């Protein structure tokens, strides 16, 4: 390799292999996986991708230009023109020679061929020590060289240069005795030089080598040529008759039958427009100097064959020498051998069976010779693996190949790989419309959408559904859609004649090895569709790091992307999941349960580790111990650095695990996972889902005779109801929790439930009762030496003191809570306390301390949910109101209220609405204040949020007075006139958590 006039030596073996691979695919992206395969074959190191990047960085430094190797999505490439890369220039010269030959300019063709061959210096890639390159690339490059060499000698003989080529041909025949065509050319040259005996000796020499060293006889062509030399055939003497002589000597070889083997295209093909456009560009014979290979991969039933045939029909005019189609039965019981297929292909080109050699290598070489300089399109359907299709590939750039396979075939060099995915919803409905009839689909549009969704938008499933509907023109789509909703019978419904989805999936499954089959079956038992490496590692029997690769390679697992932890995620197609679950039903239940328990404990261990770094929700019970397996050492730092991100990425996964644990009777694990997820609840959907999960856990625990775990789930549910603003419901439930924990003598849980009950009492304007309960909770916590319960009880005590207007005591208690929560790492309670202190400062007119407390609470790290943002925003809005900044106050209040609305916290939303009402009122918009507050009052009473209702009533009463209306008889109803209005500074909001 040279840079300007300076030679660059790349000595490191791995760097040479990378450079060779990139140059062989110049101007095309080489996938990182392909480079790793080149470097390490099946012996990938643990951190193969990182090692590859290291080798690439060193190679770039060696080359002296980091821009030589470009990084592209998914891989790397080197861009070069034919003047700077010998291989590209060689191929370009050969192509020019072929065009000159068509013009009849033999001297010009000879000059071009000589120039092309002069670019070769010894064996191709001789300095590369890579088994895959030597196996996959060198033979093809060698064949290109031999084709050019043979053509050059043909032209030399046609131009009468027989005496000049004899020495070179003698040397080449000695070096390559298996290349019978070289011997033929030498015999013809010697015969024309008048050396008939030498020509026969050349034949005898090659024949002896073949017989004694390889046990082979010479080919028919060479034997016929020997006979021609013995008899002095005049055609061999004629310089201008070389072509005619060659054609007469081997009529079978030189004749060509144009094959037209493409299956019939379908008229109802839908979708794939972008893919067809991309492939159309690739399958242009004049686009590059190398042969185009397009590989269509994808799961069973995704439409690979149909798409390949559609592509082939679209481009067939570009390949006038023929279009060949062969099904290789790669997923069948008896995949076809390359030798068998080559015999069929050779026969299709016009060869008789008598002249087709027996061996695979000989057939492959003859097939490449037959297709040399011809434009033929080959479609190889249902390929099993790279080894099955590689011997079938022609070597001429003018040909093109389309391959379909359920395997990725990533080791097939020089291919443009297209992974087919399911159709879109619209395309699926279009296909159903074509198959079942437009009127039926339009009349039952909802049922048609349900059918498409039940089919997973998989083309084969949709085609079967459409065929079944077409066979019953009077049947309602809704009836068929209802049958498909039953997961146990869906695959039975998706079968008609020879179209059977279950059988198609089975062919992919049986191709797996035993560990991959077991993991695939167990994946079907998981209701969640997103799979991570952790999932696979836990489900597999041994520690199998390549399990995901094998499932992906067989297209039974589909890559989705990276989660927030930058871990790869995968999914099982819903129909594949149903098939896998059906298989798992026949497994030994003991083994299956053990695998699922191992999987659950592995996930729970990660969740425990992550949750341990996050603050508990205010009022949350202390975690139960004794669950989960040890976290692998290499994952500990990842979890510790980003615990919140890991839990957020796995939230849906953890929810599904709760249901699964309950189904298997593992209620303690389900309860612990639910408590962990509760730390993440950040919007209304989270809260509603968690409340339902708490009920499921409670019922499962009680059904298994575990009352305490059931009431722990009820305590969690009470907290979630409180966060939704449903105070009355939470009150009723937490009262039951306190009573039950007292009865069960659950000393750990009791102080927490009593503290929560105390807070609810304060919220319902029963501050005196709340203070009594808070003190009791504090004493129980002290007796148990539980500092977390102590600080929770102190926080509730401060709330009760505020409700009793004992502000000095309340503020001192809040300062104490702030110190202790910081010592304990109770970040959420710290944020709540800062917010309360801010409101306390605002009540006494301290407009300097109040915003400082709000900003400190808002910026506090570790809060992790929207509550930590919503309440400080309201406090800042109140400060802006006191400063007369009405626009800023309203902006902050509206942002806070929107946040509470997203959380589903009606009480919090209404509390901020009170602040907005005060802003309207002080800005002279009393009517806007009334319109905002009236709808909230009855709802607050239903929820039992009496403290918030009290404040809303005061603000509404003052608004009515400002409008000149008596509060008792106007818009506020029964609640509007209960208390006189007071200013924000004198009383203000409660500052509740």
The average pLDDT across 158-182 equals: 89
455, 461 contact by CB (below 8 A) = yes
**pLDDT-wise least confident of 854-858, 862-866, 946-950:** 862-866
Is the pLDDT confidence value at 926 over 70?
yes
CA atoms of 475 and 914, how far apart (whole Å):
58
344, 350 contact by CB (below 8 A) = no
CA atoms of 78 and 88, how far apart (whole Å):
13
Sign of CA dihedral 109, 115, 120, 122: positive
The angle subtended at Cα 289 by Cα 287 and Cα 291, nearest 5°, is 85
Is the pLDDT confidence value at 865 over 90?
no
Both structure tokens of 458: 């998989």
**pLDDT-wise least confident of 10-24, 57-71, 951-965:** 57-71
Q: Are strands 69-72 and 30-31 parallel, antiparallel or unpaired?
A: unpaired
What's the burial of 325, exposed, middle or buried (CB within 10 Å: 0-12/13-18/19+)?
Answer: buried
pLDDT at 6: 65
The average pLDDT across 643-661 equals: 84
Split at pLDDT 50, 70, 90, the class of 861 is: low
CA atoms of 697 and 702, how far apart (whole Å):
9
276 versus 98: which is more confidently predicted? 276
Tell me the per-residue pLDDT of 742-787, one tens digit each, with 9 for 90 and over: 999 999 999 999 999 999 999 888 999 999 999 999 999 999 999 9
Phi, psi (degrees; rounded to nearest 5) at 377: -100, 130
Tell me the per-residue pLDDT of 183-192, one tens digit each, with 9 for 90 and over: 989 999 998 8
CA atoms of 580 and 585, how far apart (whole Å):
9
Q: Residue 140 carries which DSSP code?
A: H
The average pLDDT across 594-611 equals: 86
248 versus 225: which is more confidently predicted? 225
CA atoms of 756 and 255, how far apart (whole Å):
93
Split at pLDDT 50, 70, 90, the class of 682 is: low
Secondary structure of 460-474 in HEC code, one letter for each residue: HHHHHHHHHHHHCCC
Split at pLDDT 50, 70, 90, the class of 988 is: very low
pLDDT at 628: 61
992's CB contacts (< 8 A; 6+ apart) are 759, 762, 763, 799, 911, 947
Contacts from 887-893 at CB under 8 Å and sequence distance 24+? 889/915, 889/919, 890/916, 890/919, 893/919
CA atoms of 730 and 243, how far apart (whole Å):
98
pLDDT at 530: 76
pLDDT at 812: 93
Q: Which structural domains are found in the chain, ordered by start?
A: 10-80 (1.10.10.10), 273-419 (3.40.50.300), 425-504 (no CATH), 829-976 (1.25.40.10)
640, 851 contact by CB (below 8 A) = no
The pLDDT mean for the chain works out to 84
pLDDT at 868: 66
**pLDDT-wise least confident of 307-311, 453-457, 685-689:** 685-689
83's CB contacts (< 8 A; 6+ apart) are 89
Residue with tokens 């009170």: 914
359's CB contacts (< 8 A; 6+ apart) are 339
CA distances for 343 relative to 2, 338, 369, 855, 872, angstroms: 45, 9, 14, 80, 79
Indicate the helix (H) or strand (E) that contains 3: strand 2-3
236 versus 270: which is more confidently predicted? 270
Sheet holding 558-562, edge to edge: 530-531, 568-571, 558-562
Tell me the per-residue pLDDT of 786-835, one tens digit each, with 9 for 90 and over: 999 999 999 999 999 988 989 889 999 999 999 999 898 888 888 888 98
Split at pLDDT 50, 70, 90, the class of 647 is: confident
The average pLDDT across 168-197 equals: 89
Is the pLDDT confidence value at 222 over 50?
yes
Return the top range by mean pLDDT from 61-70, 461-470, 540-549: 461-470
Tell me the per-residue pLDDT of 513-568, one tens digit each, with 9 for 90 and over: 888 888 898 888 886 567 877 788 778 766 677 888 888 888 888 888 877 677 78
Q: Residues 804-834, buried b or exposed e (16+ Cβ, 10 A)?
A: eebeeebbebbebbbebbeebebbbbbbbbb
**pLDDT-wise least confident of 496-510, 585-599, 926-940:** 926-940
CA distances for 136 relative to 91, 131, 141, 365, 659, angstroms: 18, 8, 9, 15, 50
Phi, psi (degrees; rounded to nearest 5) at 746: -85, 80
pLDDT at 372: 83
Share of the chain above pLDDT 70, in %: 89
CA atoms of 359 and 797, how far apart (whole Å):
92
Tell me the per-residue pLDDT of 273-298, one tens digit each, with 9 for 90 and over: 899 999 988 887 666 667 889 999 99
176 versus 130: which is more confidently predicted? 176
CA atoms within 13 A of residue 496's CA, in its CB half-sphere: 15
584, 493 contact by CB (below 8 A) = no
pLDDT at 764: 86
**pLDDT-wise least confident of 132-136, 420-424, 778-782:** 132-136
Sign of CA dihedral 92, 56, 37, 326: negative
431's CB contacts (< 8 A; 6+ apart) are 268, 270, 271, 423, 459, 462, 463, 466
900 versus 169: which is more confidently predicted? 169
Phi, psi (degrees; rounded to nearest 5) at 570: -135, 170
Sign of CA dihedral 70, 73, 76, 80: negative
Both structure tokens of 113: 């061929």
The average pLDDT across 193-208 equals: 88
Split at pLDDT 50, 70, 90, the class of 934 is: confident
Sign of CA dihedral 41, 45, 47, 52: negative
259's CB contacts (< 8 A; 6+ apart) are 322, 323, 324, 348, 349, 376
How many CB atoms sit inside 10 A of residue 702's CB?
A: 16
Residue with tokens 């900003």: 855
The average pLDDT across 165-185 equals: 90
pLDDT at 78: 85
> How much helix, strand and coil, in percent to the nearest 5, is found in the chain?
65, 5, 30
Which residues partner with 31 through β-bridges?
75
CA atoms of 777 and 794, how far apart (whole Å):
9
Is the pLDDT confidence value at 387 over 60?
yes
């Amino acid at each position: 390799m040279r840079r300007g006039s300076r030679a660059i030596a790349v000595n490191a073996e791995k760097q040479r292999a990378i450079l060779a691979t990139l140059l062989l695919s110049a101007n095309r992206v080489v996938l990182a996986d392909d480079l790793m395969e080149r470097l390490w074959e099946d012996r990938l190191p643990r951190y193969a991708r990182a090692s590859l990047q290291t080798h690439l960085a060193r190679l770039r430094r060696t080359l002296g230009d980091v821009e030589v190797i470009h990084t592209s999505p998914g891989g790397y490439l080197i861009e070069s023109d034919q003047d700077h890369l010998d291989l590209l220039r060689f191929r370009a010269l050969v192509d020019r020679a072929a065009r000159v030959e068509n013009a009849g300019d033999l001297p010009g063709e000879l000059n071009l061929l000589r120039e092309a061959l002069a670019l070769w210096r010894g064996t191709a890639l001789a300095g590369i020590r890579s088994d895959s390159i030597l196996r996959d690339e060198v033979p093809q490059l060698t064949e290109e060289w031999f084709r050019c060499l043979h053509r050059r000698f043909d032209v030399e003989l046609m131009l009468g240069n027989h005496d000049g080529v004899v020495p070179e041909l003698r040397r080449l025949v000695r070096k390559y005795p298996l290349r019978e065509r070289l011997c033929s050319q030498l015999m013809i040259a010697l015969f024309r030089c008048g050396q008939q005996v030498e020509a026969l000796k050349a034949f005898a020499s090659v024949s002896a080598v073949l017989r004694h060293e390889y046990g082979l006889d010479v080919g028919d062509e060479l034997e016929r040529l020997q006979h021609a030399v013995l008899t002095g055939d005049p055609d061999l003497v004629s310089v201008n008759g070389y072509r005619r002589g060659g054609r007469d000597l081997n009529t079978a070889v030189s004749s060509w039958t144009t094959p037209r083997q493409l299956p019939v295209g379908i008229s109802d093909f839908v979708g794939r427009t972008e893919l067809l456009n991309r492939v159309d560009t690739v399958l242009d014979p004049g686009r590059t100097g190398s042969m185009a290979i397009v590989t269509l991969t994808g799961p069973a039933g995704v439409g690979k064959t149909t798409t390949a045939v559609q592509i082939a029909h679209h481009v067939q005019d570009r390949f006038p020498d023929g279009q060949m189609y062969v099904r290789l039965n790669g997923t069948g019981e008896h995949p076809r051998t390359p030798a068998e297929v080559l015999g069929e292909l050779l026969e299709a080109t016009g060869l008789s069976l008598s002249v087709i050699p027996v061996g695979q290598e000989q057939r492959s070489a003859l097939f490449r010779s037959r297709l040399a300089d011809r434009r033929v399109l080959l479609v190889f359907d249902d390929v099993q693996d790279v080894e099955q299709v590689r011997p079938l590939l022609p070597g001429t750039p003018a040909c093109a190949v389309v391959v379909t396979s359920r395997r990725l075939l990533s080791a097939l060099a020089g291919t443009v790989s297209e992974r087919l995915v399911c159709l879109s919803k619209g395309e699926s409905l279009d296909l159903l419309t074509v198959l079942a009839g437009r009127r039926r689909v339009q009349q039952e549009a909802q049922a048609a959408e349900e059918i498409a969704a039940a089919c997973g938008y998989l083309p084969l499933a949709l085609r079967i559904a459409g065929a079944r509907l077409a066979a019953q023109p009077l049947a309602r789509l809704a009836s068929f859609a209802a049958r498909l909703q039953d997961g146990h019978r869906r695959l039975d419904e998706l079968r008609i004649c020879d179209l059977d989805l279950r059988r198609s999936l089975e062919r992919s499954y049986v191709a797996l090895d035993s560990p991959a089959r077991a993991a695939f079956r167990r994946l079907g038992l998981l209701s969640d569709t997103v799979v991570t490496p952790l999932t696979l590692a836990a489900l597999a029997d041994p520690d199998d790091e390549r399990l995901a690769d094998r499932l992906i390679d067989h297209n039974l697992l589909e890559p989705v992307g990276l989660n927030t932890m930058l871990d790869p995620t995968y999914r099982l197609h819903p129909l594949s999941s149903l098939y896998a679950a059906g298989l798992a039903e026949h497994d030994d239940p003991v083994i299956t349960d053990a695998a699922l328990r191992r999987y659950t404990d592995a996930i729970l261990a990660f969740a425990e580790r992550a949750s341990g770094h996050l603050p508990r929700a205010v009022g949350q019970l202390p975690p139960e111990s004794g669950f989960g397996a040890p976290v692998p050492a290499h994952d500990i730092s990842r979890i510790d650095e980003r615990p919140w991100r890991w839990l957020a990425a796995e939230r849906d996964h953890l929810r599904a695990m709760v249901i699964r644990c309950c189904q298997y009777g593992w209620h303690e694990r389900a309860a612990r996972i639910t408590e962990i997820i509760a730390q993440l609840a950040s919007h209304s959907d989270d809260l509603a889902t968690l409340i339902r999960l708490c009920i499921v856990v409670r019922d499962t625990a009680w059904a298994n005779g575990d009352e305490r775990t059931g009431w722990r789930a009820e305590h969690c549910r009470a907290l979630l109801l409180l966060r939704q603003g449903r105070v009355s419901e939470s009150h009723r439930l937490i009262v039951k929790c306190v009573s039950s924990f007292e009865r069960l003598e659950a000393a750990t849980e009791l102080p927490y439930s009593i503290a929560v009950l105390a807070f609810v009492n304060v919220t319902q304007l029963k501050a005196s009762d709340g203070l009594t309960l808070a003190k009791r909770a504090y004493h129980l916590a002290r007796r148990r030496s539980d500092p977390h319960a102590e600080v929770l009880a102190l926080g509730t005590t401060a709330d009760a003191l505020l409700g009793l207007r004992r502000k000095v005591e309340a503020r001192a208690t809040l300062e104490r809570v702030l110190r202790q929560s910081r010592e304990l790492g109770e970040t959420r309670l710290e944020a709540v306390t800062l917010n309360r202190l801010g409101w306390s400062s605002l009540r006494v007119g301290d407009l300097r301390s109040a915003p400082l407390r709000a900003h400190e609470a808002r910026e506090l790290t570790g809060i992790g949910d929207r509550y930590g943002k919503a309440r400080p925003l309201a406090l800042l809005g109140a400060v802006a109101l006191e400063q007369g900044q009405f626009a800023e106050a309203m902006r902050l209040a509206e942002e806070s209220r929107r946040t509470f609305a997203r959380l589903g916290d009606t009480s919090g939303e209404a509390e901020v609405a009170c602040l907005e009402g005060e802003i309207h009122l002080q800005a002279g918009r009393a009517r806007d204040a009334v319109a905002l507050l009236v709808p909230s009052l009855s709802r607050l009473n239903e929820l039992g949020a009496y403290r918030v209702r009290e404040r809303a009533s005061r603000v509404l009463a003052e608004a009515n007075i400002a409008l000149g209306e008596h509060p008792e008889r106007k818009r506020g109803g029964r609640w509007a006139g209960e208390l006189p209005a007071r200013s924000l500074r004198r009383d203000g909001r409660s500052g509740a958590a």
